Amino acid sequence: GQNIDQPTEMTATEGAIVQINCTYQTSGFNGLFWYQQHAGEAPTFLSYNVLDGLEEKGRFSSFLSRSKGYSYLLLKELQMKDSASYLCAVRASYNTDKLIFGTGTRLQVFP
């Protein structure tokens, strides 16, 4: 089966750094995505990894290790507006366009 695991909730302080982990067991692998979702809104794209290593984009970075089935999203200089759910999603095969989503990590940033 396909399984994507993330912590359910995390808390952090404004200005701090937080790392959100994601582990996956899927029948195949053709890329991992991170999306941000504010309550009651649609997910918005944050990052994409298909090769091992770190992808940096401003305050957000994402890391992938395919051999370990592991990714993390790193958020630096946290702001109050970063309070949201962060969804890890895997494209599980080369011959499919579908993304399988984890249940998301709800991050609360406190002043």
Partner 1 sequence: DAMVIQNPRYQVTQFGKPVTLSCSQTLNHNVMYWYQQKSSQAPKLLFHYYDKDFNNEADTPDNFQSRRPNTSFCFLDIRSPGLGDAAMYLCATSHVDEKLFFGSGTQLSVL
Q: How far apart, in whole angstroms, are the C-alpha atoms of residue 78 and residue 13?
A: 7
Q: Choose which of 69, 102, 105, 107 interacts with partner 1 (CB under 8 A).
A: 102
Cβ(107)–Cβ(84) under 8 Å?
A: yes
Q: How far apart, in whole angstroms, are the C-alpha atoms of residue 26 and residue 1?
A: 7
Q: Does 33 bind partner 1 (CB under 8 A)?
A: yes
Beta bridge pairs of residue 17: none
Write down the least CB distance from residue 97 to partner 1, Å: 5
Binding span for partner 1 by CB under 8 A among 11-19, 20-28, 36-44, 74-82: 36-44
Q: How far apart, in whole angstroms, are the C-alpha atoms of residue 111 and residue 13?
A: 6
Cβ(91)–Cβ(27) under 8 Å?
A: no
Cβ(21)–Cβ(6) under 8 Å?
A: yes
Q: Does 3 bind partner 1 (CB under 8 A)?
A: no
Q: Choose which of 18, 43, 71, 72 interacts with partner 1 (CB under 8 A).
A: 43
Q: Does 25 bind partner 1 (CB under 8 A)?
A: no
Task: CB nearer to partner 1: give 30 or 74.
Answer: 30
Task: CB nearer to partner 1: give 70 or 101.
Answer: 101
* Residue numbers at the binding site for partner 1 (CB under 8 A): 4, 30-31, 33, 40-45, 48, 87, 91, 97-104, 106
